[in-house]
Structure 1
Amino acid sequence: MSVLLLALVAGAVVGLALGALGGGGSVLAVPALIHLLDFTPAAATTASLMIVTATSATALFSHATSGHVRWKTGALFAAAGILPAVAAATLAAHLPEAVLTTAFAAIAGLAALAMLRKPSADQKPRPPRPTRAAGAGAGLGAVTGFLGVGGGFLAVPTLISVLGLRMRAAVGTSLLVITVNSLAALVARTDGSTPLDWAVVAPFTGAATLGAWDGKRLATKLSGSALQRAFAVVLLAVAACMLADAVT
């Protein structure tokens, strides 16, 4: 299979995940860029942030038109994570790649298990507290910068378990968080020291953007609990793959 076709297929899958699940874009994009498209881990994380920033912004618009974005909660959550994201991205540049890969796998696995243990995502929501939103947002921002991911794979479980949003609202709101956090982490990483293959990154991003619209349509056909289980299964699979890569 040609590199261009691989980039288009992988991009479509990433966009579908972001549009339907409100996260999972980076945890799918990073392994795809490394294992399918021969990017280095450093180049893959930078390229992933670019791809996810563009794709999540597109998906955010789609979900916002359906009223599934909690703007005040999401804005506070995202704003609290900007500085931690930049600081953590700076720290990550000085750590071994194996450490980052192992941390990536561990956090994804823990988030998946938390999602599987939660009651139905259609449960009655409770009003989120501003202090909780800010604290959770700061923690997520740090993880975003440290691992070079958009953070949606953690934002959705956090918005459900800590802030009490329903699954559909968590999906839409997480896209706002991903867009802001990815952009902040990208600014911290884009220093020109990591060259990118734009012949791969550009079609990957285009396919992901289109896939996000299809993901939004898919999400409307599934229940919140079904989306939550699907999200957890994707996370477990990615965590297993990344952990295997770190120990081999």
Structure 2
Amino acid sequence: MSVLILALTAGAVIGLALGALGGGGSVLAVPALIYLLGFTPVAATTASLVVVTVTSATALVAHARDGQVRWRTGLLFAAAGIGPAMLGGVVAGRLPAAVLTSAFALVAALAAFRMLRPRRASVTERPVRPGRAAAAGAGLGAVTGVLGVGGGFLAVPALVGVLGLRMRAAVGTSLLVITINSLAALAMRAGTAPRLDWAVIAPFAGAAVLGAWDGKRLAAKVSGAALQRVFAVVLLAVAAFMLIDVVV
């Protein structure tokens, strides 16, 4: 199968997951870039940031039109994560490939377990505590910077459980946070990242954007809980494969 077809297929699947689940789909971008498209771990996390930025910014526009973005909360949350995201972008370029792959696999497993746990939706939105928003935002920024993932699987639970947003508002606001953190991490990697193959990344990102729209339609037809369980199982399998690959 040609590289272009693999890039389009992988991008479409990841976009589908993002659109259907509202977060977590980008976790598959790094292993797809490494094992299907031959990227090194550092190049894969950098390319993943490009894909995450494009898809998140596109989806943000749609959620903003529906009034489901809490701009003040999201900007506060993201502001705390800009520094850690930039620092993480520098650190990622200095980590051995095995360490970066192992760390990513562990985060992917964490994402899967969080998806398997039922989440309680907030009925009413509580006042945002700046201290909590800053702490949660800094942690998410660090994960985004080092591992090249959007972190929606961490941002959405934090915005719901810690900051008290309703689920739909949390999903929309998380896209704002993810877009800003990803741009910050990319800015720090610009001078140190390995040369990227844009002939692969561009169709990958384009297919992800289109797949996200199909994912929204899929979410309207299939139970969200069922989609999350299937995706979580796939994610656990990917995490296990990556850890085994590092050990062996």
* TM-score normalized by the length of structure 2: 0.88
Deviation at 1:109, TM superposition (A): 2.0
Q: In the aligned structure 2, how far is the partner of 1:224 from the partner of 1:64?
A: 21
Deviation at 1:13, TM superposition (A): 1.2
Q: Contact 2:46–2:186 at 8 Å: present in 1 too? A: yes
In the alignment, what sits opposite 1:10?
A: 10
Q: In the aligned structure 1, how far is the partner of 2:51 from the partner of 2:67?
A: 24
Unaligned runs of 5+ in 2: none
Deviation at 1:150, TM superposition (A): 2.0
Alignment of structure 1 residues 65-76 onto 2, 5 Å: 65-76=65-76
In the alignment, what sits opposite 2:60?
A: 60
Q: Contact 2:20–2:215 at 8 Å: present in 1 too? A: yes
Letter in 1 for 2:123: K
1:81 alignment partner, SS class: helix
Q: In the aligned structure 1, how far is the partner of 2:68 from the partner of 2:47?
A: 28
In the alignment, what sits opposite 2:136?
A: 136
Alignment of structure 1 residues 1-248 onto 2, 5 Å: 1-118=1-118, 120-127=119-126, 128-191=128-191, 193-221=193-221, 225=225, 229=229, 232-233=232-233, 235-248=235-248
89-98 vs 165-174, which moves further: 165-174
1:48 alignment partner, SS class: helix
Deviation at 1:183, TM superposition (A): 0.7
Q: Contact 2:105–2:240 at 8 Å: present in 1 too? A: yes
Unaligned runs of 5+ in 1: none
1:121–1:61 distance in 2 versus 1, CA, 3 Å: farther
Q: In the aligned structure 2, how far is the partner of 1:210 from the partner of 1:34?
A: 22
2:37 alignment partner, SS class: coil
Deviation at 1:240, TM superposition (A): 2.6
1:31–1:64 distance in 2 versus 1, CA, 3 Å: same
Q: In the aligned structure 2, how far is the partner of 1:188 from the partner of 1:56?
A: 19
Letter in 1 for 2:50: M
1:155–1:193 distance in 2 versus 1, CA, 3 Å: closer
Identity of aligned residues (%): 72
Deviation at 1:193, TM superposition (A): 4.6
163-172 vs 92-101, which moves further: 163-172
1:95–1:177 distance in 2 versus 1, CA, 3 Å: same
1:69–1:228 distance in 2 versus 1, CA, 3 Å: farther
Letter in 1 for 2:177: V
* TM-score normalized by the length of structure 1: 0.88
109-118 vs 185-194, which moves further: 109-118
Deviation at 1:115, TM superposition (A): 4.1
Q: Contact 1:14–1:24 at 8 Å: present in 2 too? A: no
Q: Contact 1:115–1:157 at 8 Å: present in 2 too? A: no
**Once superposed, what is the RMSD of the aligned Cα atoms?**
2.3
1:122 alignment partner, SS class: coil
1:111–1:21 distance in 2 versus 1, CA, 3 Å: same
